[in-house]
Amino acid sequence: MEGKTANAQKNALKPIRGFIRFAISQGELTTDPTEDIKPLKNGAKSRGHMTWLEPQIAQYRDHHQLGTVARLALELLLNIAARRHDAHLIGQQHIRDGKLCWRPHKTLRTTGKMLSIRIMPSLQKALDALPKEARTDGVLTFLVNDYGRPFASPAAFGNKFADWCNNAGLMPVLCDDGRIRNYRAHGLRKAALRALAHAGATGVELMSVSGHSSLDQVQEYLDEVDQERAAEAAMMKLEKVPETKAATSSD
């Protein structure tokens, strides 16, 4: 373990501990010799994928016009806050009464939760604008590759979406944890939840769109909105204070 980074230590311990649990269950071991080994903690908490904000969304839309699969991908991800694994499999068969209805892949083996989300006008426009000749008969997914076929895997879709982001001129960002990140598909899931929180959606309502299983998983979006609103309210109060009084107070 010595000399490894925090993440490398965690990755090294994980399979070993899994093997030890198996050995204990089979009666080959009675204790876990790694129990007292504590991996390092990362210095700064990672924020994960870059969350798209309004300027990045507008820049992408300006480059990828309605009628392209690239634009449809963005509108789909923003509409339903889906993971890329789900987004690349969704198609016409999932539309019911103006809503997209599907079971997220991540919950298939657990809750089997069904999501039903209304199709917003921005997504509907993107669906209507896609030329029929861009599709191949029998294709059941909205998002297709350059050959008009479904993407072979979530990774294949993710790689193509990365190309669309690069083509739109979205540049990498140096984050406050020292890591360089790019705008990618998962960041639109976060952008969709952020937009819902700003619109006043509750934690339960966020979960109903995202498919998260607990309020803790969506609380960060609510906390972000609360911080922005509280800070804005505080600054507005300060703005109303006469300059002479504010200067006296600062002394």
pLDDT tens for residues 46-72?
567 889 999 999 999 999 999 999 999
The whole-number average pLDDT for the span 1-20 is 86
Q: In what order do the strands lie in the sheet with 99-102?
A: 95-96, 99-102, 115-118
Question: Any idea where the domains of the chain sit in the sequence?
Answer: 1-43, 54-227
Q: Find tokens 């002479």 and name the residue.
A: 244
pLDDT recorded at residue 249: 57
* Lowest-confidence region among 25-34, 95-104, 130-139: 130-139
Residue 182 confidence (pLDDT) above 90: yes
pLDDT recorded at residue 146: 92
Secondary structure class of 31 (helix, strand, coil):
coil
The whole-number average pLDDT for the span 15-25 is 93
54-227 in CATH: which number? Answer: 1.10.443.10
Q: Are strands 180-181 and 115-118 parallel, antiparallel or unpaired?
A: unpaired
Provide, rounded to the nearest whole percent, the portion of the chain with pLDDT above 70.
92
Residue 246 confidence (pLDDT) above 80: no
pLDDT recorded at residue 188: 96
Range 33-71 burial, b when 16+ CB lie within 10 A, else e: eeeeeebeeeeeeeeebbbbeeebbebbbebbeeebbbb
Greater model confidence, 184 or 250: 184
Q: Say whether pTM exceeds 0.85.
A: no
The whole-number average pLDDT for the span 190-210 is 94
The whole-number average pLDDT for the span 82-109 is 92
The whole-number average pLDDT for the span 232-238 is 94
pLDDT recorded at residue 42: 63
Residue 164 confidence (pLDDT) above 70: yes
Residue 172 confidence (pLDDT) above 90: yes
pLDDT recorded at residue 57: 97
